[in-house]
Amino acid sequence: MATEVSIQHCPVYKKDLVFEAIDQLLKTLGGIETYVNKGQTVLLKPNMLSAKSPDMGVTTHPFVLEALINQIKKVGGEVWIGDSPSGVWKGIQRYWKNTGFLNLADRTGAKLVNFEADGTVERQVAGRKYHLAKTVFDADVVINVPKMKTHGLTLYTGAVKNLYGTLPGFQKAKYHKEFPNPTDFSQVLLDIYECVQPALTIMDAITAMEGNGPATGDLKDVGLLLASTDGVALDTVANAIMGFKQNEVPTTRLAGERGLGENNPQKILIKGVPLLEAAVNDFNLPSTHLLNYFPKFLVKWVGRFIWVRPSVYTEKCTGCGVCSDCCPVDAIEMKNRVPVTDYDQCINCLCCNESCPEGAVYQKMSWLARRFI
């Protein structure tokens, strides 16, 4: 049987519209009862990258989670919500509060789980050792709820990349440091995807992020929700909707090579909205994607003048030092409460961009890169 990806229209974050679209989405995949039985615990793993309000488009919208909670409760399931963002050691409360998840938990009875305090379980994949949030394995069912966004390092973040947040604490920085190359880092992401194995992935693509995501890109109204039991197939379809070439996104390409899911669009059965109708023709991809098209001889010749790297909007910066503390290679030094980056050290992991509570770290392109792109 062909792998199925379901797509539904949902133009705005209006509660009744989101509820209706999620209902349709699940019905095309057999209904929530296919995945959740009475009395089971279900972990929802949203994208809680930054402590930002839902209208900033950085995190999974609470209405999408609420629609799922509503479905799960109808069949007698109990809901947990958990994630571990990179700046979490400063306290998870502000993430829960600002993203609207605290309020969501209050009105639905869902339980917010702090991965940092809930213990870990060791797993090994391809000789690499991970300590994943124990909650992931305590739950009977895991539903992955990513957001459709671009990413300066991995080009795209969706089903596979979203599960990186099941690694609590400083491990996330450690793997960035050990595997700075996007291809190698994508293998790490796939290791984690392989360990977690969510039963279902539901993607919030009502408002997506284009340009230089995942924290400070531009918002894009895509008006879609996607679902599949195969997160790789879902990413394959999302990549096509955004305008990436087949196999351009490393996680999606490598997932196929590792047999972790379907990444051949010809073998994916689309239910609901046809792909041609769903595709966004003017989706703005990240600058790093454009650098891939730079003539190789030119990169060799003038490579050090062609770059995209993190930079700080000084007027937004409060001097809190979170970026410096999160940098896996200690490339940021706080001088008189001003972050100063050593670009010879920087591995372009974007942890500073993701963790800055003020959205003050953006991705800057060199003059030459801007001239050519």
Cβ atoms of 178 and 97 closer than 8 Å: no
Does the protein bind ligand SF4 through residue 43 (CB under 6 A)? no
Does the protein bind ligand SF4 through residue 167 (CB under 6 A)? no
Residues in the chain: 373
Segment contacting ligand SF4 by CB under 6 A, of 68-76, 137-145, 192-200, 357-365: 357-365
CB of 286 to ligand SF4, least distance (A): 14
CA distance 140 to 43: 8
Does the protein bind ligand SF4 through residue 121 (CB under 6 A)? no
The set of residues, in sequence order, having a beta carbon less than 8 Å from that of 191 and lying 6+ positions away, is 125, 126, 128, 130
Does the protein bind ligand SF4 through residue 56 (CB under 6 A)? no
> Taking the CA atoms of the chain, what radius of gyration do you get in angstroms?
20
E strand or H helix at 26, and its extent? helix 15-28
- Which of 49, 132, 349, 369: binder of ligand SF4 (CB under 6 A)? 349
Does the protein bind ligand SF4 through residue 58 (CB under 6 A)? no
Tokens linked to 349: 């992991």
- Which of 32, 43, 320, 365: binder of ligand SF4 (CB under 6 A)? 320
Does the protein bind ligand SF4 through residue 348 (CB under 6 A)? yes
CB of 52 to ligand SF4, least distance (A): 13
Segment contacting ligand SF4 by CB under 6 A, of 5-13, 27-35, 122-130, 339-347: 339-347
Segment contacting ligand SF4 by CB under 6 A, of 105-113, 247-255, 292-300, 352-360: 352-360
Alpha-carbon torsion 78, 82, 108, 72, what sign? negative
Does the protein bind ligand SF4 through residue 347 (CB under 6 A)? yes
CA distance 318 to 47: 25
Does the protein bind ligand SF4 through residue 49 (CB under 6 A)? no
Does the protein bind ligand SF4 through residue 341 (CB under 6 A)? yes
188: Cα within 13 Å, side-chain hemisphere: 25
User: Of 279 and 317, which CB lies nearer to ligand SF4 in the complex structure?
Assistant: 317
CB of 266 to ligand SF4, least distance (A): 37
Does the protein bind ligand SF4 through residue 154 (CB under 6 A)? no
CA distance 238 to 146: 11
For residue 252, the one-letter residue type is: T
- Which of 17, 102, 219, 329: binder of ligand SF4 (CB under 6 A)? 329
| Helix orientation angle between 250-257 and 231-242, rounded to the nearest 10 degrees | 140
Cβ atoms of 206 and 350 closer than 8 Å: no
Closest CA to 357 of 54, 78, 87: 87
Tokens linked to 361: 């770290």
Does the protein bind ligand SF4 through residue 321 (CB under 6 A)? yes
Segment contacting ligand SF4 by CB under 6 A, of 41-49, 154-162, 229-237, 345-353: 345-353
Segment contacting ligand SF4 by CB under 6 A, of 23-31, 254-262, 291-299, 316-324: 316-324
Alpha-carbon torsion 60, 120, 153, 336, what sign? positive
CB of 322 to ligand SF4, least distance (A): 4
Near ligand SF4 in 256-315, by CB under 6 A: 310, 312
In the chain, how long is the greatest CA-to-CA distance? 63
> What is the pairing mode between strands 147-151 and 120-125?
unpaired
CB of 334 to ligand SF4, least distance (A): 7
CA distance 338 to 342: 13
Count, residues near ligand SF4 per rule CB under 6 A: 26
- Which of 233, 331, 365, 369: binder of ligand SF4 (CB under 6 A)? 331
User: Of 301 and 343, which CB lies nearer to ligand SF4 in the complex structure?
Assistant: 343
In terms of C-beta density within 10 A (0-12 exposed, 13-18 middle, 19 or more buried), how is residue 80 classed? buried
Binding site for ligand SF4 (CB under 6 A): 310, 312, 317-323, 327, 329, 331-332, 339, 341, 346-352, 356, 358, 360-361
